[in-house]
Amino acid sequence: MCNQTVGLIAAELERKGIPTVTLQLLRSIAEAVKPPRGLWVPFAHGYPLHKPGEPELQKNVMRRALEMAADPLLEAGALQDYIPED
């Protein structure tokens, strides 16, 4: 349900003029709810930023997500996949 919850909050923020990027753990729910900008991450529930105690891995996910906001080619409902390096 967490995936839907953040997708709905993101939509409200966008309606009010704040750009968003929303991490998603389940691609099927991302495709159903349609957050404005979604980055699907291939990690288990409870591990949205990859691994505990691994600052660089966590920041890699965040950088990749935030870069989506700066991509002028994306359109509403953009959903991309995060591919970890390790």
Contacts to another protein by CB under 8 A? 1-26, 28-29, 32-36, 42-53, 55, 58-59, 62-63, 65-67, 69-70, 72, 75-77
Q: What is the distance between the alpha carbons of residues 19 and 69, in angstroms, rounded to a whole number?
A: 7
* Ramachandran region, residue 50 (left: φ > 0; alpha: ψ -120 to 50; beta: rest): left
Q: Nearer to another protein by C-beta: 18 or 85?
A: 18
CB of 15 to another protein, least distance (A): 4
Of 34 and 80, the one with the shorter C-beta distance to another protein is 34
The span from the CA of 18 to the CA of 9, in Å, is 11
